[in-house]
Amino acid sequence: MIDEKITLALSPFWLADFIEHFVFGYAKPVPFQLVYLMIPLVLRSDSRDPLVALKSTSTVYSAFLDTSEKRKRVLALQLAVNNYTEYTNRAILAYSARGHSFDLLISNVSGYEPKKESYTSHIAKEYFKASRNLGMIFSKEDLAACFYKLGVFKV
């Protein structure tokens, strides 16, 4: 039973939905490297739950770094990035197979709108909102700053 849940949670098609919402929240073409940060942050409940509650004025600092409790949310993120790389690569392939642009910068297909929230489950809504909110706060930072501030130095 646990293996089936893990397989579903790490499905490249499910993770490609996260990428779509992340890019939508970023609101401009996204450096593809940020997807490697996004997936572990959204999949891990200790970082996902606070992402759902972020405000539009939030930053990487206010979301993850301004208190010791918040810094625990990104503890060992480098290890998580390394562990999720294979799944992220597959998700990027599924994302690009949907017709979205993938190069050094990724962007959703022209006219893309996220799925209507009313058509998705409560759990899916949280993942999608966390993805969008993370895109929004990453869009306020330089690419290198996102990695440096979160303690990730290798993808």
pLDDT of residue 1: 42
Q: How far, in Å, CA of 63 to CA of 69, rounded?
A: 11
Summarised one tens digit per residue, pLDDT across range 24-80 is 999 999 999 999 999 999 999 999 999 999 998 999 999 999 888 888 888 889 999
pTM confidence score: 0.90
| Predicted confidence (pLDDT) at residue 4 exceeds the cutoff of 70 | no
pLDDT at 117: 58
| pLDDT (0 to 100) of residue 118 | 53
What backbone torsions phi and psi does residue 114 show, to the nearest 5 degrees? -60, 155
Q: Quick one: pLDDT at residue 114?
A: 78
Query: What does the pLDDT look like over 94-152, one tens digit per residue?
Result: 999 999 998 999 999 888 887 765 556 778 889 999 999 999 999 999 999 999 999 99
Q: How far apart are CA 131 and CA 127, in angstroms?
A: 6
